[in-house]
A and B are shown apart, each in its own frame.
Chain A
């Protein structure tokens, strides 16, 4: 059986994760909608996870640490999505907008 480690160099995976991170960064910087910005953040977190899993598989596959860290990142991403989307809904209720640049005052 052929493992992916023998065929694909580690740097390909890291470049793929870097590209996904940059796409997510563009989404977080350029979109006006708060929900779309959160989508960009999710893409960036996924890119970090790809890096962790790739380093785990290529460098320390007998230890579990890489997967543990990836699972923690998934946990944090889920918490962040829940709180962020609740904030988007709360902002929409009080200000009737979900555009980040129209919410420029903390006082409701």
Chain B
């Protein structure tokens, strides 16, 4: 039974890290949004494994249901440019970013955690002894009670933040009627793109930003 839990955890962790790597490594941005959905699902599965059921449901609803769909919409609304130049997904010196991230992980996070490991084990054991029976894990009931008593004002402020974000997103993305472009059908757009693509040579050299800005 213990090995089953370990195997489940390792499978979830491996799938999460694999799809996370695919999110940042895949050049096609639609594919990376789909890998992002898979990562979010795996994080939700990890919450289930950690017995935070409500958070798992919220993770699937908010991240998979709302944020990823928003991302896909944004990608598809801004796709014309990217489709013609797919080889420019990364900065030219992306290996510096890779070095920073590997250094942060290998030289800061892992050594710190390994040094703290005995303390973590001791604290976990103390918490388990104080807990006693497993029924005392806080569930969705105490979450609801906490939101209307102890965390009432942060809860209201979170609601206000969502309202401000909603209005802000509408204001930023709003387009006045006089400036609005005509929305083309798929066939018209295909025709337009074909006409735009014809005069250009097929293999256009990549112009980097540093070079175009002398």
Contact = CB atoms under 8 A, between A and B. Distances in A.
Contacts of A74: 58-59, 62-63
| Chain B interface residue bracket vs A | 35 or more
B116 interface: yes
Nearest to B13: A16
B30 to A, nearest CB: 10
Contact of A61 (B32, B101, B136, B158): B136
A2 to B, nearest CB: 5
A106 interface: no
A19 B78 contact: no
B91 A32 contact: yes
A46 B44 CA distance: 10
Cβ-closest 3 pairs across A and B: A79-B165, A27-B24, A29-B97
23 contacts: A5-B128, A7-B2, A8-B6, A22-B104, A26-B97, A27-B23, A30-B98, A32-B89, A35-B75, A43-B39, A59-B127, A61-B51, A64-B138, A67-B143, A68-B147, A70-B55, A75-B161, A78-B67, A79-B164, A82-B169, A83-B172, A101-B91, A102-B209
Interface of B: 1-2, 5-6, 9, 13, 16-17, 20-21, 23-24, 29, 32-33, 36, 39-40, 43, 46-47, 49-52, 54-55, 58-59, 62-63, 66-67, 70-71, 73-75, 77-78, 81-82, 88-91, 94, 97-98, 100-102, 104-105, 109-110, 113-114, 116-117, 120-121, 123-124, 127-128, 130-131, 134, 136-138, 142-143, 146-147, 151, 154, 158, 161-162, 164-166, 168-170, 172-173, 175, 209, 213
